[in-house]
Copies of this chain bind each other. A is one copy, B any other.
């Protein structure tokens, strides 16, 4: 099993436009993020590849993996460290065939069955959420809550990364509910100081 870090920062330039994806990656890495995930749903492929390459260069210096959301083509072109795949994204089994064995694959799962299938297909960790209400994803689905997270983490034999509405006020509770780690978007990207916000979240989940 690959080592999966606990604090995943997803960069976003839709909810905020002060910082680019690369700037957010730099601040997340400086603040101690364990993984940076590049998530961009629209735009030219060429531009996405250039953005992912810049982010990979920023992450590589600190040994932080860069994970690309959905776009296996972009991940391959930018030689990213992995991909994160939703249920509507590129299929995990095909991604496992295309990516070198050392690359990380994460899969979003809404229930243990989807998680087990994703792991059988080659995923290294499982994203679960939304744990709390969130405005960051329009198609995030039904709020799961901490109890379902705890049940899910027990049922799934892989690191569970909780996502959805997680911030400084509730990160410790998420970590105590059995999640291996957390993924955040606005709790870093939309804060006045994304680097300090990252550092604070890292401290909160380590101390929980």
A47 interfacial contact with B, CB 8 Å: yes
Contacts of A46 in B (CB 8 A): 87-91
A94 interfacial contact with B, CB 8 Å: yes
Are B70 and A94 interface neighbours, CB within 8 A? no
Proximity bits, A116-151, B CB within 8 Å = 1, else 0: 000000000000000000000000000000000000
Interface residues on A, range: 10 to 19
The listed residue (B71, B89, B94) touching A76 by CB distance below 8 A is B94
Are B89 and A45 interface neighbours, CB within 8 A? yes
Contacts of A100 in B (CB 8 A): none
Query: In the complex, what distance in Å separates the CA atom of A73 from the CA atom of B90?
Result: 8
Query: In the complex, what distance in Å separates the CA atom of A146 from the CA atom of B88?
Result: 43
Sorted nearest first, the 9 A-B pairs with minimum C-beta distance are A73-B73, A44-B88, A72-B73, A46-B88, A45-B89, A45-B90, A77-B94, A45-B70, A73-B90
Query: In the complex, what distance in Å separates the CA atom of A46 from the CA atom of B107?
Result: 13
* Closest Cβ–Cβ distance, residue A79 to chain B (whole Å): 10
* Closest Cβ–Cβ distance, residue A80 to chain B (whole Å): 13
Contacts A/B (CB < 8 Å), 17 sampled: A42-B42, A44-B88, A44-B89, A45-B70, A45-B71, A45-B88, A45-B90, A46-B87, A46-B89, A46-B90, A49-B90, A49-B91, A71-B73, A73-B73, A73-B76, A73-B90, A98-B98
